Structure 1
């Protein structure tokens, strides 16, 4: 059966890997990636992944944000090596910080398809990057040309999650330090936070912004939230609400990948504390204001920062392996 071909929209090209190397020095791992890595070994890889993501999205539109979040949780811990996909006790995936992650089945579905067409060729890490990239495009965002050639990690440890993960209660200083440790700038922090233009968060992710009154009702306690918006959140997340209750990250255009997120922040409608702090600090507010004024600027900036995110700590060459099953570190 021939794979279905789809028409691709214009691509935003990002060239961040043209590095000048001194003689006899090994190239950094990221410079060994290339957009044409599979041009001979698996030329249909991007179309096959895109079709898989599109099929899942047509059934469940929430899958887009889940795939984007899944990539972030993979890359921020020990690099973009697919280690968050591994199942089992003591793995990254088993850590409580990752218990709400989703979209694993989309990566596995694409992997099965690629193993049929190009056995032992495409890594789970590359599939996850492509899936997250396609998820943004499907929700109205830019299509980004990403370099490929990552290999999968053989180690996935829950102990690595907490020291590397970003918490929703972080200050700008804490956020900037965590991003800097991954080679990402303060501008990257603001730009990549724009991922919150789609998706939703559990009530527990922002419960610290509310208190329980004496009569048991939920009352806003954070002045950085616009009052009416805070009351809406309180009604959606009453005291005793189930851990499964969620609310949209973007109250205006929750299903569109656009720059509305930044307008929300300026209107004091940032859902998470780690969103709101971006407008309370002069180091990040200027960037928020600029991105709120121009969606084109946001999309161009997103393309650059997304590529930087997707190349954190990559394994290439003889490092890692090409796993047969994404959920298994050995298979």
Structure 2
């Protein structure tokens, strides 16, 4: 008697197929979305390695945290948070004069070199930059912020994209609000993220628009919102024909500490840039400035939320970008 063949049923054919499709969907989801544990399996110590490298850099150069924080702003506001500001070459974002004073590149490169040795081809420069900025705030005394990872590095960096997307220190409130709104960021985010000026330095030319000359050619303040004593202090630090490399502290009181003194300075007319002073004089933002000046914890809580939103602007995931082998050049 002929034995009956065991022909595969529809169930036995479809089940493996469904498993494959489900696994593929999960895999695609894991490589195309940000998550808090994106590198848990591929490079589990990435955040610790970034933290230790930034701490070492800050111990050697106390301005390193401010440089790294500024760097992530200049990255995310142009092309999104994709590491495009790190790319070198003629015609890139770094070639724009507005980015000439950026620093912190060597710290990012040091982190990248270490991670390429330990976890080759795994951690993007965009994630390194976001994590390094996060650590910089904490090292300077600010709050710890848990941020998502999984960003991919962009392949495009164009000098022509810088000016239309960056907030200039001479901007009015309307101009600043327009730029932030175009990135999906609110007026509250604008006030909060401006608090980054609580640390760092600026070249004298960055606030030169706030001064004019009297009949004898001596510098005089032309911005009535500035405290007179503070204006005189800046004039003494930045006299006529000053060396262009001379810098002054953004925050004249606690220059290297991430705190709410920046907002206290604004309420006293001691904002370094015209864009700073706009925050304390405009009716739409003055109350928030005053609230932060009185309540550091409120500023820190708002910073945590706004910083997450900033570092999620225009991120690239999955096949939208790549993981660069070196941060200064595309693969």
Please report the TM-score for the alignment, with normalisation by the length of structure 2: 0.90
Q: Which residue of 2 aligns with 1:213?
A: 214
**Partners of 1:197 and 1:250 within 8 A in 2:** yes
Cα deviation digits, residues 176-233 of structure 1 (max 9, x gap): 1100000000000000000000001111111011112333322111111000000000
Report the equivalent of 2:313: 312
Task: Say which SS state the counterpart of residue 320 (structure 2) adopts.
Answer: coil
Partner of 1:87: 88
Give the ranges of 4+ consecutive aligned residues of structure 1 lying more than 6 Å apart after TM superposition: 27-31
Within 5 A, what are the aligned runs for 1:153-192?
153-192=154-193
* Separation of aligned partners in 2, 1:167 and 1:28: 38
Q: How does 1:1-331 map to 2 (within 5 A)?
A: 32-329=33-330, 331=331
RMSD across aligned positions (CA): 1.7
Q: What residue number does 2:21 align with?
A: none
Residues 70-100 of structure 1 deviation map (CA, whole Å, 9 limit, x = unaligned) = 0000000110000000010000011111000
Instruction: Judge conservation of contact 2:32–2:318 (CA < 8 Å) in 1.
Output: no
Query: Which stretch shows the higher mean deviation, 205-214 or 261-270?
Result: 205-214
Q: Distance in 2 between matches of 1:155 and 1:278?
A: 33
**SS of residue paired to 2:212:** strand
CA gap of 1:31–1:322, structure 2 versus 1, over 3 A, is closer
Aligned length: 305
Q: Cα offset for 1:136?
A: 0.4
* Contiguous gaps of at least 5 residues in structure 2: 1-24
Contact 2:88/2:94 (CA < 8 Å) preserved in 1? yes
CA contact (8 A) 1:92 1:98 kept: yes
Measured at CA, do residues 106 and 65 of structure 1 come closer, stay the same or move farther in structure 2, by a change above 3 Å?
A: same
User: How many Å separate the matches in 2 of 1:152 and 1:262?
Assistant: 34
Contact 2:35 2:148 in 1 (8 A): yes
Does the aligned pair in 1 maintain the 2:280–2:286 contact within 8 Å?
A: yes
Partners of 1:236 and 1:212 in 2: CA distance: 16
SS in 2 for 1:201: strand
* CA displacement, residues 270-300 of structure 1 (integer Å, 9 cap, x when unaligned): 0000000111111000110111111111111
> Greater helix share, 1 or 2?
2
Contact 2:200 2:250 in 1 (8 A): yes
- Report the TM-score when normalising by structure 1: 0.90
* Rg larger in structure: 2
Residue 28 of structure 1: how far off its partner (Å)? 11
SS of aligned partner of 2:59: helix
| SS at structure 2 position matched to 1:78 | coil
Cα contact 1:168–1:273 (8 A) shared by 2? yes
- Cα distance, 1:317 vs structure 2: 1.1
**Does the 8 A contact of 1:29 with 1:314 survive in 2?**
no
